[in-house]
Amino acid sequence: MNPLSASYFQQLQQALANAGLAEPVLVIDRDRLDTNIVALKAMLPEGMAYRIVAKSLPCAELLEYIAAHTETHRLMSFNNNMVMQLLALMPEANQLLGKPIPVQALRRTLDEASTQTRSQLQHQVQWLIDTPARLVEYAEFAMSTDIQLQINLEIDVGLHRGGLEPGADLEASLRTIHQSNNLTLAGLMGYEPHLTKLPNIAGWPKRAKQGAADQFQQALTQTAAIFGQEHVTNMVRNMAGSPTFGLYSDTLLANEIAAGSALVKPSDFDLPILKAFLPASFIATPAIKVSKGVRLPGLEYANRALGKPQSGKTVFLHGGYWKADPVYPGGLKNSSLFGRSSNQEMLVAPKNASIKVDDFVFLRPTQSEAVFLQFPKIAVFSGGQIKDLWAPLPVTA
């Protein structure tokens, strides 16, 4: 069955109309989300923990729904504002920062926090560290304020976006934590989304995968030499993302994977490894103007030179310029000559396209994290109806 069939979008069109919606909305297909949750759980090896990547699913109700159906209390957050939002939303959750943040941002957050929140920030949040210098800053801050910090070390396993490599810098960082009365080693993180995007030429992906595994294993071995094997066995060993979590068949290397986008599957995640997952998020926006022919500004004065106007239909959307591609009605394309617009996006439709003013046009996001935050309403589609309206989290960097 084609997940982008005309009949599917016609049903969705009717559901939105029945719900009285007539403005741009983000749609989540909850039935497909359920299918994707089942697929994710089926791909996890026994004992593998799952951490929800919150930035890819930035909606309180959506995060709570996924947490309940995957039975996880683990979240990945990406800045201090998000940390605070998630602490308020799911106060029992354990958070792991997905990127390092300046120590000054941490200082401000702790200064503004209540006594209870300060305790949560010290014991329920793992702060990601990518360099020995940043670790020293965190250690000095923790000592000067007499607080405890849970530290997770970012290991460069081949993405080369920063992080520690096995060797002297990692050793120095491990010893800094081991000797500190204010820092605890909560785990290591090795992110490798590049592995499923390398061209399959002469075994390149296979060698890269083995290289990533070797790098992470070397980091674990170094860690065990200082903290002991029991600590390494029990700490967080986080790897993977939506493109790569399916590569892990046991917990010998990683004992936790992180994923988010796969559950709503924007088009950037149309990967063979995610073939069991269905597109579950769409933009629906009204066609506020529809006209015959394709007319571009000023060209009527040059028609003799350039010929007759292009055949087809011109469609102007309510809004536009999203990270998304039109998928229904079929044949819609952006106009490279007219250009993009976030106010009234122009699309060109085939002349036989069945579209009229106020019909919804559907676009499929290429990613979820930036797109979801652009819509004040998220319509939840299930069983042929709009069952609920959710709201995105407040925008954060």
251 contacts 203 by C-beta, under 8 angstroms: no
- List, for residues 12-21, the tens digit of each pLDDT value: 999 999 999 9
Which of these ranges, 14-23, 36-45, 123-132, 351-360, has the smallest mean pLDDT? 351-360
Q: Which tokens sit at 109? A: 């957050």
- List, for residues 24-54, the tens digit of each pLDDT value: 999 999 999 999 999 999 999 999 999 999 9
Q: How confident is the model at residue 92 (pLDDT cuts 50, 70, 90)?
A: very high
Q: How far apart (Å, rounded) are the C-alpha atoms in residues 295 and 314?
A: 8
Residue 303, C-beta contacts closer than 8 angstroms, at least 6 positions apart: 309
Residue 218: per-residue pLDDT: 98
Q: Which tokens sit at 259? A: 């994923």
User: How far is the CA of 324 from the CAs of 34, 229, 284, 327, 368, in angstroms?
Assistant: 23, 47, 11, 9, 10
Instruction: Give the chain's domains with CATH numbers.
Output: 30-265 (3.20.20.10)
Q: How far apart (Å, rounded) are the C-alpha atoms in residues 362 and 287?
A: 10
Q: Which tokens sit at 177? A: 């934590």
Residue 206: per-residue pLDDT: 87
Flag whether pLDDT at 369 surpasses 60: yes
- List, for residues 69-88, the tens digit of each pLDDT value: 999 999 999 999 999 999 99
Residue 306: per-residue pLDDT: 52
Residue 396: per-residue pLDDT: 78
Per the DSSP assignment, residues forming a β-bridge with 129 are 153
Flag whether pLDDT at 397 surpasses 80: no
- List, for residues 259-313, the tens digit of each pLDDT value: 999 999 999 999 999 999 999 999 999 999 999 887 666 555 555 555 555 678 9
Residue 282: per-residue pLDDT: 99
